[in-house]
Amino acid sequence: MTAYILNRVLIGLATLLLASIVVFGVMEVLPGDPAQLMLGMSGSPEALANLRAQMGLDEPIVWRYLHWIGGLLTGDFGRSYTYSSPVADLIRERLAVSLPLALMSLLLSTFIALPVGIFAAARRGRLPDTLSMGTAQLGVAVPNFWFALLLIYAFAVWLKWLPAGGFPGWNGGIWNGIKSLILPSIALALPQAAILARVTRSALLDVLGEDYIRTARAKGLPRGRVLRRHALRNAMIPVLTILGLQFAFLLAGTIIIENVFYLPGLGRLIFQAITQRDLIVVEGVVMLLVASVIVVNIMVDLAYAVVDPRLREAA
Amino acid sequence: MSLLEIEKLTLSIGNFPILRGIDLQLEKGEVMGVVGESGSGKSMTALTLMQLLPHGAQTGGRITFDGKDILHATEAEMLALRGDDIGMVFQEPMTALNPVKTIGEQVAEGIRWHTKASRADAESRAAAMLDRVGLPQSKFPLTRYPHQLSGGQRQRVVIAIACALKPKLLVADEPTTALDVVLQKQILDLLRDLVDERDMGLLLISHDLAVVAEMADHITIMRHGEVIESGETSAVLTAKAHPYTAQLAEASAHVPSNRRSIPPSALPGISPSRGDIGPSSNVQRPLGAQSHQEHIKQTSPVRTAAVQSPFSLHEGEMPGRAEGGVTLPPLLTVQSVTRDYAGRRTGLFSREKPFRAVDDVSFTVHPGQSVALVGRSGCGKSTLARMILALDRPSSGSITFDGHRLETSKDRDLRDARRNMQVVFQDPYGSFNPRHRVERLVAEPLHLLQTKPSREERRALVSKALDDVGLKPADMNKYPHEFSGGQRQRLSIARAVITRPKLIVADEPVSALDVSIRAQVLDLFAELNERLGVAYLFITHDLTVARAITDEVMVMHDGRIVERGETHAILDHPQSDAAKALVAAAPDLDRALAARAARINAAC
Amino acid sequence: ARTDLVLGMVLEPPHLDPTAGAAAAIDEVVYTNVFEGLTKIGPTGEVLPGLAESWEISQDGKTYTFKLHTGVKFHDGTEFNADDVKFSLERAIAPDTVNAQKALFAKIDTIEVVDPATVKITLKQPQGGFLYNLGWGDAVIVGSESVATNKEKPVGTGPFRFQNWARGSSITLVKNPDYWGEPVSLDKAEFRIIPDAAAAIPALLSGDVQAFPSAPVAEALDQIKADARLKVVIGSTEGETILSMNNKKAPFDNKLVRQAISYALNREEINAGAINGLGTPIGSHFAPHNPAYVDLIGTYPHDLEKAKALLAEAGLANGFSATIKLPPPPYARQGGEVIAAELAQIGINLEIIPLEWAQWLEQVFTGKDFDLTVISHVEPNDIDIYSRPDYYIGYQNPAFNKVIQELDATADEAKRKDLYGQAQKILADDAPVGFLFQLPKVGVWDAKLEGLWENTPIPANDLTKVKWTE
Amino acid sequence: MSALPAETVPPSQSFLRLALGNRSFVIGAVITLIIAGMALLSYVWTPYSATELSVLNKMKGVSAEHWFGTDHFGRDILSMIMVGARASIAVAILAVGIGIVIGVPLGCYAAATGGWVDEVLMRVNDLVFAFPALLSAIMITAIFGPGATNAIIAIGIFNIPVFARVARAGALSIWPREFILAARASGKGKVLITIEHILPNIVSLLLVQGTIQFALGILAEAGLSYLGLGTQPPMPSWGRMLFDAQTRMMAAPHLAIFPGLAIVVTVLGLNLLGDGARDILDPRLRRVR
Ligand SMILES: Nc1ncnc2c1ncn2[C@@H]1O[C@H](COP(=O)(O)OP(=O)(O)OP(=O)(O)O)[C@@H](O)[C@H]1O
Ligand SMILES: Nc1ncnc2c1ncn2[C@@H]1O[C@H](COP(=O)(O)OP(=O)(O)OP(=O)(O)O)[C@@H](O)[C@H]1O
Ligand SMILES: [Mg+2]
Ligand SMILES: [Mg+2]
């Protein structure tokens, strides 16, 4: 097991190295000059040249890459061009929003999807099944910014229960922070939940056809208990896989929702960094994302092993 | 009042009738054997008792258990009965256990549920029960998972679950089908002990007459959802009053046309012209037509050769089958073959030591020869077969087939060898891609031919192959799920013979089939051997099969060949412990009946 | 009454040092709130005294002597005096400066500290707008002790001091108790960044944000107006929105073609389509609220026949194809779409190419690789851009250049006004670009709030006079 | 099952007959055909021009002249939805196509080869996956310029790892099956086995994933259009219409409702079609219920 994890970590590091080269290369071919962008339409050529020198943009590419990688190894992500503050600080600030948001939506989508999926599977082919799966399909097809705006109008403008957007920071009290993340996490969770519910249902249906379900029922256990105690755990593997993918998405793929709720999350940071050609920020965030995907993958694999003893040994 | 009374039980799923009026009675402390061909409704009867029928099942008639009307019981009443008063051992031990729960949990679960016992209490009772079925705590702690147990051990866990609460009735559905004979014997002994000890009623479902004869006081014979005959076991089986009973008895003891060569067209059951190869028609087939045999004996040169063939295999350099006095070189030569499986990793730099699945095996097979490879489950038979088929490479040693070195060749260079060597798999259904039609499936090995046949040629070859195995050419447009088990096994054989190979390796080709279909398939093998001169390597743990159609037997144990020789010699006078154990454990109808008769006599 | 305020803004400043960056968002947060200059621009664009209490201009118009306020302290407690003025301005004119508006100070020759409360600035030649220039955000006075960290933690002399910047989210200022001037009535002001137009509306309606001085809500104005708690104030900006043409590239180098395009533009429709009709049509590159403004809207009325005739005269009777590159703001994207549809009516087929800012700056502004583009020029009084030799529009007219040169050297208001008028007329006639409309400033704020600027003479959110009425 | 006489099983039927017997397939096909027909019809006829502006006529509600109302430029929404169907569907289908054409072979290859090749391919997959779809799209369009083609490529690239994963997982479950051994015994190589045996057995997985990705594709196109990187004006697309509607959602809800409905109905239709096709393609499920 330890060897397995070590192996995965080593491969993960290699992936990161590869990622760093790819990302750096892509950033180089991205058209647009960060210095020019900072000066806008009014900058003079000298100012531009000065700024470029100040930002280190006139160094040769290989040198800049090595410099950057060297920095990464010592935990120095460099300084943002636009914000001129350390990238690591920026990422840390954004993670304080994105991480709780991702976790909240993940929890929410799990808490919605599992019961719905179980419910539908238990009533396979009957009206409740058709209805809940139909709703799930709608959940996938409805654009989430649309849904988000509806939430805002309902809960912020009309009912005034929750803020329409923004994030007060964790210093202003945990509850205030959580309050501002409730609507965004609902907006994010719903389509995810729809997908997850479908997966849960079909995984459960596969499992319910297995012989050991009949064995369990032959012990005199009621249906519900069989479903929870015997079927669910066996159906967890596809569900976990999807959850892992969703986490990766939720961490930085939520630009649109972050925009609608004007949350200072990672998604907006990277989006903004790309449009403003804040290359060093883009590079830093991408490295973080790749690393997190690797970590999540390892964790999902470990979770498989927890769920399924057969995989414990295979690992 | 009987423990269990079933009257005029009918069952249909959708509009398809499955059971058509079953009557059955079982007393306390009695063993009732239910036999019948595959699909006759045995398992469905058992599931009806438990009210665990699939969706859309409709029942009629009456079932009374211990005075309760089961068919009209509410779900709540059934929950109280299931597991507590009625225990059930399911047909498939490999899949009947939840892979993610420990065996302790699974056995204790029912105890806790029904008796509301504390966890610790339930676990100690579970431990006692597991100990009872031969899984002592010291060697098999409660924390084991099913995958850490062998098939036989799992079957015992299933029995432990079923018997945990000392049920009044135990329904055991084919409790030993998937097991080798030695394990089978252990399990049957266990069941008998439980019956004796607790005065439990046992409904033992099987398609193996020998097993039932050994175990059951009474027997019920089913076919097509009906009870054909029932009564005291030895009486029913010796009298064979009903023709179907007679057929079953005969089929189960069937030693097929070992040297009798009957062209399929001469057999009404597999006549291509009749088309219908349903099992119902098969069992009506007269077996062993002596006059035919005599006739063919004189006209078949291969047969003559076979009879003359001397078997002295001991140094692996037996002279080939002589034809017109010429000595042929061996078709297959296996020389000191060993296969190690890498052990599991246990740490960063350490692994378990490798597991030797096949250990220094050498033998030869000559053209037209039929060799059995027998041995207990897990002894390495399939591993060896895979290497012979060049689907796996030996760790050391060499394999030569038809002049080709297999273990060193690249896949591309193996085509010639493969053309002359085909395989019939254990599970006929699993060996077909469910999405292809028969034409494509059977034609698959044609890929090995140097010149690709045209579509017409291909169809001709396929219909010839189907004809060879007694199927209709029209069947080539069907999908595998549209066939019965026996028919699928024939398809599998058709695929193996389409390139007219010199050797067919058959890995447990009949273990999944019921006796009547098994008889039919064995005949087919023997017949092909005669007609096409195909050599066989038969892998099985069933000695009856080996006895039926092979010239020679190799007994394998823990990766080694421990004994080999002429079939009858070995099976009648086994020398090695492994062979002795196999022979001793093999159930035999006649022997069982004799023993039963002796017991009854003694009791009187 | 309340003493706190949350203001919405669309763009986040990259940093908070107005002397080291071009972004308007910097000034929108810190100008006059945190940092002050010698002079200060008022709500209507007038020049007011700032850190300089008063000033004298020499006869030749070359020497300015500023009398500074005394007792002024930077937020870090250090004293403000004439040395800081010298430091700040010399930093701005240094060869390696990163000041984005270096041109503002180009005429400065020397800066002398006469005494701690007096500074004398000598120009190389007289400059009409010098005092105005000193009122820009780029000319604010910074302390030599704090200059290095101003980007992240601005330290100025203003009535508010910087408290916190949650990047991507908000910037908070608090009242400076030690302010030298008239104390402000707000204790705390938070600038909240709301980039998404769709989010701005509910933010206002829910009361989370009490003021959105430049709200991206043109399309939802009716809905907001319906809410009695909110006040909508449509002001003007310095943003002349134009259809820029590449005057160096055929066929736009042909005046006939440019005129044809100008005739083909339906300003009313463009105004309606681009910003819900809130803009003020312009006929030249000049803000209508400016005293020197001349109404030239009638120069090219919407006339398709004339447009076609002019095209035919230019030898392009069958029209032609070109591209129109559009930067991200909605006025450009939507306006561009309307323009494309309009020009299609005289046979000019435009391929619409939306660009990000970075690409627009690189391709259009710096690379001059474009046919047409829609853009708002937001610098105040920037008609001189048409005289710049290497400007992206590529327009050159010696007569126009001469007027601009004269302007530069003229301090007399009446004369300047006349010169501005001449410049406007030349441009209107030459039609180097299509003049569309003056970008409106759509301000939305709580009805109980007063003191916010109606217009945007320079980018700023001057909070010094802002207070809650109840 | 094994003992069923062959005659009780209906003989294999033609695909068309099977298809017509499958309710969800038929409903899905009807919806899809209507949408596709609408898109095709738009080439020859729309109620109004979908590109001609009539700004003074803007944001009119539902009326007899304009069944679905008009947008912020006064264009007829019904006409725009008809024309927009082309872009939306084309982008989504082609993007899913790219994902399948590249991702499935990759996944199958990884599964067939195993070992370090598998490991490397899957890690590269993670890498692509780590980059949220919208971001890679932004980068691609930043480099190559915006437009429908680049939107397709961008969304397609995101689909590659998705399909690679699904295909690999499916293939891994098929490889140990006995019929694969049978095919190997027939001398077939990995490529042939993958084509003949693996693919047909993972089709249903891919179909289901395909319909999900299709829905996401339409929405991703919408997202890109929002950022100005998708379909270019004046050509409408459903996604662009939705985003244009965003700021006007409360003032003129019909701007968002109709394109939204178009997306929902299309996705629903395709999902039904996919579910039906999956059942039809599986011979085991073909028996009458
Ligand atoms: N891939 C593998 N890795 C490690 N051990 C293996 C592997 N495959 C088989 N074994 C082990 O090798 C031994 C021989 O296996 P094999 O399948 O050849 O048995 P068998 O004789 O065919 O048994 P059965 O009658 O149950 O099919 C078994 O103990 C099995 O557990
Ligand atoms: N879920 C089902 N739906 C429809 N028919 C079924 C179902 N399960 C079983 N059958 C049919 O019911 C009949 C009886 O099946 P059953 O399992 O009782 O046979 P069996 O006697 O136990 O055979 P075997 O020896 O193969 O286990 C068979 O024809 C089978 O095809
Ligand atoms: Mg059965
Ligand atoms: Mg085996």
Q: Give C-chain residues touching A164 at CB under 8 angstroms.
A: 199, 202-203, 205-206, 208
Supply the DSSP symbol for B345. Answer: B
Give residue B351's pLDDT.
58
- For the ranges A70-74, B341-345, B408-412, C345-349, the maximum mean pLDDT occurs at C345-349
Domain assignment of residue A196, yes or no: yes
A19 in a structural domain: no
Identify which has the larger pLDDT, C9 or D63: C9
Cα–Cα dist A82/B486, whole Å: 75
Neighbours of ion ligand 4 (CB under 5 A): B 382
Residue with the two structure tokens 């073959």: B337
Nearest-5° Cα angle at B59, B56 to B61: 175
The answer to whether position A207 is within a domain reads: yes
Chains A and C touch (3+ CB pairs under 8 A): yes
Could you tell me if C161 and C34 are in contact, meaning their C-beta atoms sit under 8 angstroms apart? yes
Structure tokens at B427: 């599970």
Q: How far from chain centre, in Å, is Cα B424? A: 14
B36 CA: nearest ligand 2 atom: 21
Percent of chain C with pLDDT over 70: 100
Provide the H-helix boundaries in C176-266. 197-205, 221-225, 255-264
Q: Which ligand is nearest to the CA of B386?
A: 1
Nearest Cα residue to C443 out of C213, C104, C217, C130: C213
Q: What is the pLDDT of residue C179?
A: 92
User: pLDDT tens digit string along C49-86?
Assistant: 999 999 999 988 889 999 999 989 999 999 999 999 99
Q: Which of B50, B57, B46 is nearest to B75 (CA)?
A: B50
CA dihedral C421, C426, C429, C435 (to 10 degrees): -70
Query: Residues in chain A whose beta carbon is closer than 8 A to a beta carbon of chain B?
Result: 2-4, 6, 210-212, 214-222, 229-230, 233-234, 307-310, 313
Check whether residue A96 and residue A241 sit in a common domain: yes
Q: Is residue A9 part of a domain?
A: no
b/e map C309-325, b = 16+ CB within 10 Å: bbbbebebeebeebbbb
Residue B204 DSSP one-character state: E
Which residue's alpha carbon is at the smallest distance from atom 2 of ligand 2?
B54
Would you say the C-alpha torsion B270, B276, B279, B285 has a positive or negative sign?
A: negative
Average pLDDT, rounded, for chain D: 79
The two three-digit tokens of residue C369, written as one number: 């690789």
Q: How confident is the model at residue A75 (pLDDT cuts 50, 70, 90)?
A: confident
Instruction: Name the DSSP letter for residue C302.
Output: -
Instruction: Say how far apart CA C454 and CA B355 lie, in whole Å.
Output: 86
Interface test with B, best of A6, A212, A225 (most B CBs within 10 A): A212
- For residue B358, report the distance from its CA to the centre of ligand 1, in Å: 9
Q: What is the pLDDT of residue C37?
A: 93
Which residues in chain D are closer than 8 Å to A290, comparing Cβ atoms?
126-127, 130-131
CATH number at residue A201: 1.10.3720.10
Question: Quick one: A195 and A72 in the same domain?
Answer: no
Which chain D residue has the Cα nearest residue C269? Answer: D55
What is the model's pLDDT at position B344?
Answer: 58
Find out whether C189 and C172 touch, Cβ atoms under 8 Å.
Answer: yes
Residues in D 127-146 with any Cβ partner in A closer than 8 A: 127, 129-135, 138-139, 142-143
Residue B177 Cβ inside 6 Å of ligand 1? The answer reads no
Q: Report residue A38 CA to chain centroid gap.
A: 30
Which residues are registered as beta bridge partners of C349? C321
**Alpha helix (H) ranges present in B366-514?**
381-388, 415-419, 438-443, 455-468, 485-497
Q: What confidence score (pLDDT) does residue C224 get? A: 86
Name the more confident of A87 and D218.
Answer: A87
Could you give the percent of chain B with pLDDT greater than 70?
84
Residue A194 maps to a domain: yes
State residue A185's pLDDT score.
92
CA dihedral C104, C105, C107, C111 (to 10 degrees): 150
Among the listed residues B60, B66, B56, B24, the one whose alpha carbon sits nearest the alpha carbon of residue B42: B24
Question: Any idea which ligand is nearest the CA of B278?
Answer: 2
Distance CA C210, CA C3 (A): 12
What is the Cα Rg of chain A in Å? Answer: 24
Q: Which of A21, A53, A76 is a domain's end point?
A: A76
Q: Determine the average pLDDT of the residues in C238-260.
A: 91
A48 lies in a domain?
Answer: yes
Fold classified for D20-39+74-283: MetI-like fold (1.10.3720)
Mean local confidence (pLDDT), A66-77 = 86
* Alpha-carbon span C320 to C344, nearest angstrom: 10
According to the model, what pLDDT value does residue B343 have? 62
Q: Please give the pLDDT value at position D15.
A: 63
Q: Give percent above pLDDT 90 in chain A.
A: 7
3-state secondary structure of B225: coil
Dihedral sign for Cα atoms in the order B266, B272, B273, B278: positive
What residues form DSSP beta bridges with B561? B556
Residues A55 and A196 both lie in one domain:
no
Please name each of the domains of chain B with its CATH number.
1-85+169-252 (3.40.50.300), 277-591 (3.40.50.300)
8 A C-beta contact, residue D188 and residue D126: no
- Name the nearest CA neighbour of D185 among B427, B333, B504: B504
Tokens of C376: 């708002």
C392, D33, D84, D85 from D47: Cα distances, Å? 43, 20, 14, 15
Task: Kindly list the domain boundaries of chain D, sorted by start residue.
Answer: 20-39+74-283
Provide the 10 A C-beta neighbour count for residue D148. 22
Partner D contacted by B275 (CB < 8 A): no
Look at ligand 2, atom 1, and give the residue with the nearest C-alpha.
B54
Q: What is the pLDDT of residues C251-273, one digit of tens each?
A: 999 999 999 999 999 988 899 88
Instruction: Provide mean pLDDT across the span D125-134.
Output: 71
**Is residue A17 in some structural domain?**
no
- Comparing CB atoms, the residue among C22, C23, C206 nearest residue A157 is C206
B265 neighbors B271 (Cβ within 8 angstroms): yes
Chain A residues within 8 A of B167 when measuring between CB atoms:
none
Average pLDDT over residues B134-143: 86
Of D52, D142, D246, the CB nearest to C341: D52
Mutation to test the C interface, candidates D139, D243, D250, most C Cβ within 10 Å = D250
d(CA C35, CA A65): 38
For residues C89 and C83, the answer to whether their CB atoms sit within 8 Å is: no
Which of A76, A103, A130 is the C-terminal boundary of a domain? A76
> Closest ligand 2 atom to the C-alpha of B45?
18
Q: pLDDT tens digits for C106-134?
A: 889 999 999 999 999 999 988 878 898 89
Residue A26 lies in a domain: no
B226-234's contacts with Cβ under 8 Å and 24+ in sequence apart are B226/B19, B226/B20, B226/B21, B226/B22, B227/B21, B227/B22, B227/B23, B227/B24, B228/B36, B230/B23, B230/B24, B233/B33, B233/B596, B234/B593, B234/B596, B234/B597, B234/B600
pLDDT band, very low/low/confident/very high, at B265 (cuts 50, 70, 90): very low
8 Å CB contact between C8 and A262: no
User: Mean of the pLDDT values across residues B508-520?
Assistant: 75
B153 contacts chain D (CB < 8 A): no
Q: Indicate yes or no: CB of D271 within 8 angstroms of CB of A245.
A: no
Contacts of A145 in chain D (CB under 8 A): 226, 246
> What is the pLDDT averaged over residues B186-206?
88
Touching D (3+ Cβ pairs <8 A), the chains are A, B, C
> Two tokens at B167?
């049920």
Provide the pLDDT confidence category of residue B219 given band limits of 50, 70 and 90: very high
Residue in D with minimal Cα distance to C220: D248
Which pLDDT value is given to residue C339?
93
Q: Could you tell me if B394 and B424 are in contact, meaning their C-beta atoms sit under 8 angstroms apart? A: no
Which residue of chain A has the CA closest to D223? A256
Show the domain range for A274: 87-314
In whole angstroms, give the CA distance from residue A61 to residue A279: 13
| Lowest mean per-residue pLDDT among A40-49, D106-115, D243-252 | A40-49
Same domain, A222 and A290: yes
Q: Least CA distance to C391: which residue of chain A?
A: A41
Residue pair B194/B172 in contact by the 8 Å Cβ criterion: no
Q: Which residue has the higher pLDDT, B484 or B325?
A: B484
- Distance in Å, alpha carbon of B441 to nearest chain D alpha carbon: 9
Q: How far apart are CA B501 and CA B449, in angstroms?
A: 12
Cβ within 8 Å, pair A140-D127:
no
Predicted pLDDT at C65: 94
Q: Please report residues of D whose CB lies closer than 8 A to that of A274.
A: 135, 138-139, 142
CA of B344 from ligand 1 middle (Å) equals: 15
Q: Which residues line ligand 2 (CB under 6 A)?
A: B 13, 18, 36, 38-44, 54, 91, 207, 514; D 1-4
Reference B355, options B391, B387, B334, B380; nearest CA is: B380
Looking at residue C114, its pLDDT comes to 92
Confidence at residue C375, expressed as pLDDT on a 0 to 100 scale: 92
Interface test with D, best of C356, C361, C442 (most D CBs within 10 A): C356
Given a contact cutoff of 8 angstroms between Cβ atoms, the answer to whether D244 and D72 are in contact is: yes
What residues 194-253 of chain C have any CB closer than 8 A to a CB of chain A? 194-196, 198-199, 202-203, 205-208
Nearest CA in chain B to D199: B435
Please state, rounded to an integer, the average pLDDT across all residues of chain B: 79
Contact assignment for B432 to D179 by CB distance below 8 Å:
yes
Once rounded to an integer, what is the mean pLDDT over residues D48-68? 78
Q: Which of residues 210-269 of D touch C (CB under 8 A)?
A: 228-229, 232-234, 246-251
Rounded Cα–Cα distance for residues B28 and C27 (Å):
96
What single DSSP character describes residue B98? -
Q: With an 8 Å Cβ cutoff, are A262 and C22 in contact?
A: no
Does D60 touch chain C if contact means CB atoms closer than 8 Å? no
Residues C457-467 have a mean pLDDT of 89
Same domain membership, residue A71 and residue A184:
no
What's the pLDDT tens digit per position in B555-567?
999 889 999 888 8
Q: With 80 as the cut, is the pLDDT of residue B505 above it?
A: yes
Residue predicted with more confidence, B311 or B592: B592
CB B523 within 8 A of CB B489: no
User: Are A169 and A198 contained in the same domain?
Assistant: yes
Question: What is the pLDDT, as a whole number, of residue B253?
Answer: 66
User: For B284-320, what is each residue's pLDDT tens digit?
Assistant: 333 333 333 333 333 333 333 333 333 333 333 333 3
Phi/psi for B158 (5° steps) reads: -60, -40
Higher per-residue confidence, A293 vs C280: C280
B401-425: average pLDDT: 82
Which residue type sits at C50? G
Confidence bin at B325 (pLDDT 50/70/90): very low
| CA gap B204, B171 in Å, rounded | 6
- Encode pLDDT of A139-194 as tens digits: 877 777 778 888 988 898 888 888 888 888 788 788 888 888 999 999 999 888 98
On whether both A92 and A69 belong to a single domain, the answer is no
A183 and A45 housed in the same domain = no
Q: Which residue, judged by its Cα, is nearest atom 1 of ligand 1?
A: B341
Q: Which strands, in side-by-side order, build the sheet including C52-57? A: C52-57, C63-68, C118-123, C108-115
Amino acid at B474: A
pLDDT of residue B311: 35
The span from the CA of C420 to the CA of C412, in Å, is: 12
Same structural domain for residues A101 and A42? no
Neighbours of C10 (CB within 10 A): 17
First to last CA, chain D: 15
- Answer yes or no: do A145 and A225 share one domain: yes
Same domain, A39 and A91: no
My answer on whether A134 and A66 are in the same domain is: no
Ligand 1 proximity of B377 Cβ (cutoff 6 Å): yes
Is the pLDDT at B214 greater than 90? The verdict is: no
Tell which one of B16, B20, B40 to mutate to probe ligand 2, the residue whose CB is within 8 A of the most ligand atoms. Answer: B40
CB contact under 8 A, A44 and C102: yes
Q: Which residues of D touch A22 (CB under 8 A)?
A: 127
Whether the pLDDT of residue A295 is over 90: the answer is: no
Query: Residue D159 in contact with residue D217, Cβ under 8 Å?
Result: yes
Ligand 1 in reach of B355 Cβ (< 6 A): yes
User: C28, C20, C38: which is closest to C102 by C-alpha?
Assistant: C20
Backbone angles phi, psi at C410, to 5 degrees: -105, 130
- What's the domain count of chain A? 2
Q: Is B358 touching ligand 1 by the criterion CB < 6 Å?
A: no
Q: Which residues of B167-193 are buried (b: 16+ CB within 10 A; e: fewer)?
A: bbbbbbbbbbbbbbbbbbbbbbebbee
**Cβ contact (<8 Å) for A221 and B83?**
yes
Please spell the DSSP secondary structure of B289-328, one letter per residue.
-HHHHHHHHHH-HHHHHHHH-----TTS-PPPPPBTTBPP
